[in-house]
Structures are given as structure tokens and as C-alpha cells.
């Protein structure tokens, strides 16, 4: 999406304080957001957080318990799904197995009574868009998982819907194919400029495919931001922990001046930054630092200059091909566990399990949040 154009675009979908209750379960709680035309919004969150419920309300399959949904500026509470001009791809693709790929793609055109003479050309065009030219005659079972995926996307797009809704359509694919399809879908979306809401619990998919991301937990929107801002400035502990590999350290506020904050863990003061107003001296706080911001070095290496420097012991190391992931226990920080990546392409700097190492990170890379006692108890994490 080109910078500067965003503000000129009009809203396609708007949710105002939308909630959905199923008996005792509040599946979605007062969700509000605006989706601009031609952009991709991803709803990201763990299983059961209300993603599908949100999508189903926008599609018209579920009615909000309270709040209002607007499409093109008009409330849609009394508009049935088929009048909403929405294409959908769900996790279970729901392709018709007895039909060919082309017949599947033609189906929504027939349902919408398109002129039969125009249908073959449209089907061919969309087979081309999803890179399946020449495969229209194949039955669904004669196509690979990724190819079936593309048929489903073509079928959702062929009638030029105003809005495309994707509910984890890539989750059944293996990792490599899924990552290819993420890039490919992004390209198709940009070619066609179709406004899209994508649902996933895969953070990479959200970062790769979206103009904007909404992170949800327990039915509540935690943060709405573009991918870079979301990653670099998580607004709370949940978002910081859900995206990226993050170490969480709990302590007490020792000092606070504007965004600069010092946290006491045991007798050690760590420097970090905060955007919260609720922190005062003495209050319980939680610090989050991403593994790629933590440097690991040999003890006594004084060339390493960071705001926070400690010694730790390598508890675990895991080789991931392009990097080594270390889990380091820090006695000085009350045995807190800190994760660190090492991307050294020469493999020369790797450390051994049990080795004492230095670790360091800067204040600007450690986000500090106010935390309740329950959050303190829930702390932890492992590789
Ligand atoms: N028809 C229903 N009746 C009762 N409870 C429901 C219904 N649909 C969803 N829920 C509940 O609402 C909550 C949110 O469900 P939802 O399907 O929206 O989650 P989700 O984020 O899509 O999860 P997943 O990633 O597992 O698909 C869950 O606690 C679920 O059990
Ligand atoms: Mg779901």
C-alpha cells in the first residue's frame, strides 16, 4: 500500500462496539475498528479468542448481541449474507469434489445469474490470476493442497466481491507451501485491490500479509496497528509475548521519568521504557525484551556496551539452521530466563550448555508494563 493514499480511502467496513454472547461465553467484547478500502486487515489471536465469531458477524451468519456493523457506511444488521457482496474462504475449503476446478469457480457466477456467455472468460481469467491456467478441467482430488487453495480463492474472488473474508485458509498446508501462498496471496490482493479481512493465529502470516493487524485475546481487541508498529511497539504484555520470542521479567518500579523507567529485580536495577501511565514507584511491573535484541558474548568482553548487562548460564541451546536460540538463566535476576538469538554465519561464536556468558540489551528495547499479581504468577515460558 502506498504511503499517503491511506487517508484518502473511504472506510469499507466499520464495527462500533460489537459484542457477541453465546450463553455464558462473551466471545467478542465491544470490538471497534475501521477497515479502509483496498487494504488487508488481519485478526490475529490464539484459539478461542473470537476471531471466527467476528468474521461470521461481518459476513452476516451471526447477529451481534450489541453494537453495529457498517459496510459502505450503512448499518447491515438487517441485511442477509447473500446481499453483502462478500467472498469467503474458510479453513475447510468446502470445494465441490464432484466438480472440476473451473466448475467450482463458475458456481458463484451461476448462483448470481451472470450472463452465461461471460462465464467461461471470467473463469479463465481467475484461473490465470491464481496461477492455474490450463488446470480448469481437473477434479478437485486431482489437485494438490496448494492448488485446491487457489481454486477456493478464485471462487471467492470471481464475482468481484466488495470484501474478501479469509478464515485460516492456509492452516492445513505445510509450512513451506503456506509461506509461499502468503506471498502469492499478497500479490494477488495487490493486483486486484480487493479489501480483505484475514483471520489467523500465525504471527508470521499476519506480519507478511497485512496492512493492519488486530490482536485479540479472550474476545477483546488488545492492539490495532500496522505490522511494523505492532512488532516494535507492543502496547501490552499479551501482545509483546504473543508476537516474536520474548523474555518476560517481573519486578518493581524503582524510578520513573517520562518514558524512562528503572525496574528492580532482586537487588538489580534494569533500564527500560514504557508508554503506560499507570506505573508509579513501587508498583509491580513486567518487562518484555525480544530475543533478537539480546546480545550474547563471552564474559569479560568489554567491547559489549549495553544499558543492561548481566552474566548468565546457558541452560538450553537450539539450532534452527539460520540461527542458534539460547535460553540463559540469570542468577542475578532471580534466576529469570532470557532468550537470545545468535545469527553468526561463521558458527564461531556458539556457546556450550552450562557455560557462563555475558548478555546485554538496551533500555529502548525493553518494554515495561504494569502487571497485576495474577500476571506475575503466570510468568514463565520455555523453548
Ligand atoms: N455457536 C457457538 N455457541 C457457543 N459458543 C460458541 C459458539 N461459537 C463460538 N463459541 C465460543 O466463542 C468463543 C470464540 O470462538 P471462535 O470460534 O470465534 O474462536 P476463534 O478465535 O475463531 O478460535 P480458533 O482459532 O480455534 O478457530 C469460544 O470460547 C467458543 O467456544
Ligand atoms: Mg476460528
pLDDT digits (tens, 9 = 90+) for 163-194: 999 998 888 778 888 888 888 888 889 988 99
Residue having the nearest C-alpha atom to atom 28 of ligand 1: 48
| CB 47 less than 6 A from any atom of ligand 1 | yes
Of the residues 21, 47, 51, 57, which should be mutated to test ligand 1's pocket, given the most ligand atoms within 8 Å of the CB? 51
Percent above pLDDT 70 for the chain: 94
Q: Which of 31, 19, 14 is nearest to 73 (CA)?
A: 14
> In the CATH hierarchy, which fold is given to the domain comprising 245-377?
OB fold (Dihydrolipoamide Acetyltransferase, E2P) (2.40.50)
Q: What is d(CA 237, CA 363) in angstroms, rounded to the nearest whole number?
A: 17
Tally the C-alpha atoms within 13 A of residue 109's C-alpha that lie toward its C-beta: 23
Give the domain ranges of the chain.
Answer: 6-232, 245-377
Range with top average pLDDT, 1-5, 93-97, 123-127? 123-127
Of the residues 53, 198, 215, which should be mutated to test ligand 1's pocket, given the most ligand atoms within 8 Å of the CB? 53
| CB 48 less than 6 A from any atom of ligand 1 | yes
Structural contact between residues 366 and 289, judged by C-beta atoms closer than 8 angstroms:
yes
CATH code for residues 6-232: 3.40.50.300
- What angle do the packed helices 119-129 and 101-111 form, to 10 degrees? 130
Ligand 1 centroid, distance to 290 Cα (angstroms) = 30
pLDDT value of position 73? 92
Residue having the nearest C-alpha atom to atom 4 of ligand 1: 22
Residue having the nearest C-alpha atom to atom 29 of ligand 1: 48
Ligand 2 centroid, distance to 49 Cα (angstroms) = 8
From the CA of 43, the nearest ligand is 1
Q: Which of 209, 235, 211 is nearest to 223 (CA)?
A: 235
Q: What is d(CA 169, CA 292) in angstroms, rounded to the nearest whole number?
A: 30
Q: What is d(CA 21, CA 16) in angstroms, rounded to the nearest whole number?
A: 16
Residue having the nearest C-alpha atom to atom 8 of ligand 1: 53
Across-strand partners of 44?
200, 215
DSSP three-state, residue 113: coil
| CB 91 less than 6 A from any atom of ligand 1 | no
- The predicted model scores a pTM of 0.87
Structural contact between residues 122 and 73, judged by C-beta atoms closer than 8 angstroms:
no
Ligand 2 centroid, distance to 34 Cα (angstroms) = 21
Across-strand partners of 291?
none
From the CA of 27, the nearest ligand is 1
Residue having the nearest C-alpha atom to atom 3 of ligand 1: 22
Ligand 1 centroid, distance to 57 Cα (angstroms) = 12
Ligand 1 centroid, distance to 288 Cα (angstroms) = 29
How deeply is 88 buried, as exposed, middle or buried, from its count of CB atoms within 10 A (0-12, 13-18, 19+)? Answer: buried
Strand order in the sheet with 74-75: 25-36, 11-22, 66-71, 74-75
**Residue 96 Cα to chain centre, angstroms:** 30
| CB 20 less than 6 A from any atom of ligand 1 | no
**Intrachain domains 6-232 and 245-377 with the same fold:** no
From the CA of 202, the nearest ligand is 1
User: Residue 103 pLDDT more than 60?
Assistant: yes
| CB 217 less than 6 A from any atom of ligand 1 | no
What's the pLDDT tens digit per position in 231-284? 999 999 999 999 999 999 999 999 999 999 999 998 889 999 999 888 899 999
pLDDT band at residue 379 using 50, 70 and 90 as cut-offs: very low
pLDDT band at residue 8 using 50, 70 and 90 as cut-offs: low
Give Dmax over CA atoms of the chain in angstroms. Answer: 78
What's the pLDDT tens digit per position in 80-97? 988 899 999 887 768 998
| CB 51 less than 6 A from any atom of ligand 1 | yes
DSSP three-state, residue 277: coil
Amino acid at each position: 500500500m502506498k504511503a499517503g493514499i491511506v487517508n484518502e480511502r473511504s472506510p469499507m467496513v466499520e464495527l462500533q462496539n460489537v459484542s457477541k454472547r453465546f450463553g455464558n461465553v462473551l466471545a467478542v467484547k465491544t470490538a471497534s475498528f475501521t477497515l479502509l478500502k483496498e487494504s488487508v486487515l488481519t485478526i490475529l489471536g490464539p484459539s478461542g479468542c473470537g476471531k471466527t465469531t467476528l468474521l461470521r458477524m461481518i459476513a452476516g451468519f451471526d447477529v451481534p448481541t450489541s453494537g453495529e456493523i457498517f459496510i459502505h457506511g450503512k448499518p447491515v444488521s438487517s441485511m442477509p449474507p447473500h446481499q453483502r457482496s462478500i467472498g469467503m474462504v474458510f479453513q475447510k475449503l468446502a470445494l465441490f469434489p464432484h466438480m472440476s476446478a473451473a466448475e467450482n469457480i463458475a458456481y458463484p457466477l451461476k448462483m448470481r445469474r451472470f450472463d452465461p456467455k461471460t462465464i467461461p472468460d471470467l473463469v479463465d481469467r481467475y484461473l490465470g490470476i491464481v496461477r492455474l491456467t490450463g488446470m480448469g478441467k481437473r477434479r478437485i482430488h486431482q489437485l494438490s493442497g496448494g492448488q485446491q487453495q487457489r481454486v477456493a480463492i478464485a471462487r471467492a474472488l470471481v464475482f468481484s466481491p466488495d470484501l474478501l473474508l479469509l478464515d485460516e485458509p492456509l492452516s492445513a498446508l505445510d509450512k513451506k507451501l503456506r509461506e509461499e501462498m502468503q506471498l502469492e496471496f499478497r500479490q494477488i490482493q495487490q493486483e486486484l485491490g480487493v479489501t480483505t479481512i484475514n483471520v489467523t493465529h500465525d504471527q508470521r502470516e499476519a506480519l507478511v500479509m497485512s496492512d493492519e493487524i488486530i490482536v485479540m485475546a479472550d474476545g477483546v481487541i488488545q492492539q490495532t496497528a500496522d505490522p511494523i508498529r505492532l512488532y516494535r511497539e507492543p502496547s501490552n504484555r499479551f501482545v509483546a509475548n504473543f508476537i516474536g520470542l520474548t523474555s518476560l521479567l517481573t519486578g518493581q518500579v524503582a524510578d520513573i521519568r517520562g518514558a524512562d523507567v528503572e525496574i528492580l529485580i532482586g537487588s538489580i536495577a534494569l533500564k527500560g521504557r514504557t508508554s503506560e501511565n499507570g506505573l508509579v514507584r513501587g508498583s509491580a511491573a513486567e518487562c518484555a525484551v525480544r530475543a533478537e535484541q539480546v546480545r550474547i558474548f563471552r564474559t569479560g568482553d568489554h567491547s559489549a556496551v549495553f544499558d543492561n548487562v548481566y552474566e548468565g548460564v546457558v541452560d538450553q541451546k537450539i539450532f534452527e539452521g539460520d540461527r542458534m536460540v539460547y535460553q540463559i538463566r540469570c542468577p542475578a535476576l532471580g534466576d529469570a530466563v532470557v532468550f537470545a538469538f545468535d545469527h553468526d554465519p561463521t558458527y564461531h561464536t556458539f556457546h556450550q550448555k552450562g557455560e557462563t556468558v555475558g548478555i546485554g540489551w538496551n533500555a529502548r528495547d525493553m518494554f515495561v508494563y504494569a502487571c497485576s499479581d495474577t500476571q506475575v504468577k503466570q510468568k514463565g515460558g520455555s523453548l
